[in-house]
Structure 1
Amino acid sequence: MKTLKNIYLACFSALALSACHKAELAYISPAVVQVSNAITSDTLKGAIKGTMLAGKTYYFSKDITVNDGDTLQMQAGVRLIALGDGKTYQTAPAIIMHGTFISLGTKENPNYITVQNSAALHTEAEAQNYSNVFQGWWGGIICTPGPVIDGKPVPTGGDVVLKWTHLEFAGGPAGPGTLDAYTEGDPRYVIYFANITKNFILEDSWLFGSKDDGIRVAGGKISVMRNTFELCGQGGGEFFNMKSGTLGDLAYNFMIGAATNALKASDAGGSGIQTNVNMYNNTIVNCGFRQTKSGRGGSINFEKAASGQVYNNLIANCRFGLRVTKDADLQNMKYNNQYFYGVTTGIAGQFLASDGVATFQPGDIHSDAAKDNDPLFYGYDLTKYDYVANPGPLTVSAQTPYVVTVGTSNFRLQAASKGLGAGKVDFQPMAAVTTTGDYGTTITPPGKDIGAYQNDGTGNQH
């Protein structure tokens, strides 16, 4: 425990000395990890702090709060269960995070923040499982922003560090007087993070089944590496939605079945720090078909003065491919080496969204013909679902589970795939998060194979 605390202190010291975008000072929360403060009760309520112990199961049925300056940590193998039905804000408990949240699951012992499998507790019509995935059983994790004084954000609030953690089934309605992330009645995200001077780290984790956006970041330094995102958004919503002040990298994520975009970057919000994010080596499949608004819904979207680098992404059977609008920061955006695949001419005709200004680049793999350039996944047939008959928008009941969930599928590339060796490697991650170690990030650099899975076994480990 003393060693872990020393690591965190060292990380803090290194970060305090480093510089970041537009000469802003990079802050991280004070070293307040209280491993010795064991949480022994299996029921959480009110204001909490301390450490949930390895292998234990904990429950909460009302909102729980971590105060500014406090830390809530999960050791490996912890299950945190939200008890609610999602019908009202009173019965959709949330985690209100003014402090720091750390979940250190491992590959062998991942953590879970989820709901009960209610087969024995509810009627089948109310079961907390795939058939009712968009109920929104709990209120998610709400990480509040610090105040802005004299036009500058004050470094209050805390960091979020999530590793090898399952996050599932959030989306319960917001109540009156809710923190500024929502208005009353809005479906809440699995995570809302708005601490512009802080760090958001999501690594090797799983996000499943949100009613709207899976994660929305409204400012902060991010490192989102090697995760799996499945089936988020009932009739709209992204897997990962970024607003003004977001800086960092999103790489080696596997994403399947978003209602709208898998990844969306926008500078909307006016934080004073421009959104600048790199998206590379992601695999994005079957996204955009549940968005009910015309002309929206796809894979990767840059708009409203957002900037970044976009390379080595595999985009298969998405309603729209790369979308870069004319009001994005076109002078500072760079993109190339995308691999596009579609089973219909309609999908192939929108590899570059028609309402955007992106153009095909020399390193892209694409074709106007349907079913051309199959990426050759080891264990997933891209031709089974009939998108000719079902071009979208679709309800989730029309997208059968094997289309929008991983199941037993294998999305690694076969030896004959054109994606092997077609990646761009001569650029660097932004590395906006500078801490490393248990409480920091492990950034995987750009890979020579397109997509989230590298032929040498690196990249996404799910």
Structure 2
Amino acid sequence: MKNYLLIGSAFLATSLFMACGDDEVISNEDPVNPGTDDDDDDNTQVDESTIIWPADTVVTLTEHYTVPEGKSLIIKEGAQIIVSTQGVGANHIPVEFTVDGNLYCEGTAEKPIRFSIAEEDRKAENIFQEDYMWGGIVATETCQEMLIDHTIIEYTGAQVIEGSPAATAGIYTAGDDAYPQITTYNMNGKYVITNSVLRNGWSDGIYMMGGQAIIANNTFAANGWDGAEAVNVKAGCQVDVAGNVMYSPNTNGLKLSSSGQSENRGQAKVQAYNNTIINAGWRRDGEKGGCIYVEKNVLANVFNNLMVNCKFRAMTPSFSIPNNPEEGYDDSSVIDYNFYASGSQKSEITFPDESGVAYAWEGYNYEHEDYNVGVVDLNSVIATKDDLKDPMFVNYDVNGVSLTNYIYDENWDFSVKAGSPVLSGAYSGSDANMQPYFGANGLTVNGETYVSPAIQPWFGAYGE
């Protein structure tokens, strides 16, 4: 294993990897010699615009890191990017991983890539603690492509402050925003996020303000301390979201909106199907959403999803004022054929001055002003007090795990047993308007074509 300390942000400093030995400290003050030839070193500069961080490399970031526009960084399997939580400069600006160029994270199931903090600080009690957070990955307006495959991203969500690169770039507002784990901003960008784990972050798991994307077969856990989602989509995006497990998002698993739509930034379009969302909405201070939230002219087809112990059903606020980027969703959307399961346990957190909802089944059947009754979830399966609709998971106690729990147990198995009710009654996936945007031609990133998962004839991410 090779260990490197990056104490500067210049991309070309990584070209020094070609000639460095184990445990060498790298500084961007050192001369750059991209022509160095060292047959004993696995580090590779493919050309003047591409750098590879080799398999099993350990990179420590103590300052902001930027992949410049027109450059590409490829990170190979098993690499670890350990980010300092001390911050940068006298103001301790949270370390940010900025992608102005292209980023390709090529992990494997056996050797995932990890973006994290020091191993000794990765403790349950440090989740959501400001002293143990870094910024996150910010793909800016000039990022053309990004692949996040078999990659763990955790302990993000530090506050954006004066001097933060994302604030300087106008992406976030200093003092008002916290870093998501992944941000996208280029509406012409192509992004594939698959087979990855996005967990333990103060803010959203993925916040998309632009681009075409496949978000598939990921695990999201403990996304958001107060008012955040697993996946948050805005105007300028076309996205397939499928096959994901979203465990204990603070507010929603999916927040889908065309907020920011203009003559230059097009309508958000989302196909969200075969996802499993668990324990959404209970940890939020106050009530807004609770599993799926669709608004502001987004065209969203949301179907064959499995919601378990979520606080509410799918919401479409201002649905009486549709097709309006300031109000309700695009009323040609289909939000139906979903499955809402409930356990018998009561939440430790309730808001008597609002809904007073304390059980998942109670929230599903609450007369909420944002439920578009008779249109949204017309054919969905919805638990009641007397019929909780147990999905029969292989290994997860639907009635025992606290509704406010956010610690993910790797031993859980959200596949279902034979005879589970989620295996029948789902939408067949035959209509043209319901097809994945990238199911036929896919998205080509770094020369490889990635295809969205096919629609499965069951509810949730997994069958038997």
TM-score for the superposition, normalised by structure 1: 0.78
What is the aligned counterpart of 1:167 among 153, 156, 180? 153
Deviation at 1:289? 1.1
Q: 1:38 to 1:229 in 2, by over 3 A?
A: farther
8 A Cα contact 1:235 1:259, kept in partner: yes
2:71 corresponds in structure 1 to 70
8 A Cα contact 1:91 1:138, kept in partner: no
Distance (Å, rounded) in 1 between the aligned partners of 2:371 and 2:28 = 50
Q: How does 1:17-416 map to 2 (within 5 A)?
A: 39-40=17-18, 50-85=51-86, 90=92, 92-118=94-120, 127-136=121-130, 137-145=133-141, 156-177=142-163, 178=167, 179-185=169-175, 186-271=177-262, 272-293=265-286, 295-325=287-317, 326=319, 327-343=327-343, 346-351=359-364, 354-359=368-373, 361=377, 363-369=379-385, 372-385=388-401, 399-400=404-405, 404-416=407-419
Deviation at 1:428? 1.5
What is the aligned counterpart of 1:428 among 429, 435, 440? 435
Deviation at 1:361? 4.1
Distance (Å, rounded) in 2 between the aligned partners of 1:56 and 1:384 = 41
Deviation at 1:439? 3.7
Q: Deviations over 1:374-396 (max 9, x none)?
A: 11111011111465xxxxxxxxx
8 A Cα contact 1:286 1:317, kept in partner: yes
Distance (Å, rounded) in 2 between the aligned partners of 1:436 and 1:71 = 12
Q: 1:62 to 1:377 in 2, by over 3 A?
A: same
Structure exhibiting the larger radius of gyration computed from Cα positions: 2
Deviation at 1:347? 2.2
Deviation at 1:451? 0.6
1:6 corresponds in structure 2 to none
Deviation at 1:59? 1.1
8 A Cα contact 2:438 2:451, kept in partner: no
Amino acid at match of 2:64: D
Mind listing any 5+ residue stretches in structure 1 that lack a counterpart? 1-33, 119-126, 146-155, 388-398, 456-462
8 A Cα contact 1:49 1:70, kept in partner: yes
8 A Cα contact 2:190 2:445, kept in partner: no
Deviation at 1:400? 4.2
1:453 aligns with 2:462: yes
Deviation at 1:434? 3.0
Amino acid at match of 1:81: I
Q: 1:43 to 1:452 in 2, by over 3 A?
A: farther
Q: Greater shift after overlay, 184-193 or 228-237?
A: 184-193
1:131 match: secondary structure: helix
Q: Deviations over 1:243-275 (max 9, x none)?
A: 111112000000101111111111111243001
Distance (Å, rounded) in 2 between the aligned partners of 1:259 and 1:85 = 26
Structure holding more strand per residue: 2
Deviation at 1:321? 1.9
TM-score for the superposition, normalised by structure 2: 0.78
Q: Greater shift after overlay, 189-198 or 76-85?
A: 76-85
1:419 corresponds in structure 2 to 422
Distance (Å, rounded) in 2 between the aligned partners of 1:386 and 1:168 = 22
Amino acid at match of 1:373: K
Q: Greater shift after overlay, 304-313 or 429-438?
A: 429-438
Provide the aligned C-alpha RMSD in A.
Answer: 2.6
2:5 corresponds in structure 1 to none
Deviation at 1:282? 0.1
**What is the count of residue pairs matched by the alignment?**
389
Q: Deviations over 1:67-102 (max 9, x none)?
A: 110011101111111122469963521111111011
Deviation at 1:128? 3.3
Mind listing any 5+ residue stretches in structure 2 that lack a counterpart? 1-11, 30-48, 320-326, 345-357
Distance (Å, rounded) in 1 between the aligned partners of 2:256 and 2:222 = 19
1:187 match: secondary structure: coil
Amino acid at match of 1:92: P
Q: 1:67 to 1:207 in 2, by over 3 A?
A: same
Deviation at 1:60? 0.6
Distance (Å, rounded) in 1 between the aligned partners of 2:338 and 2:395 = 21
Aligned-residue sequence identity (percent) comes to: 25
RCO higher in 1 or 2 (8 Å CA, sep ≥ 6)?
1
Q: Deviations over 1:161-191 (max 9, x none)?
A: 1101111111122231423222223321111
8 A Cα contact 1:44 1:60, kept in partner: no
Distance (Å, rounded) in 1 between the aligned partners of 2:305 and 2:224 = 22
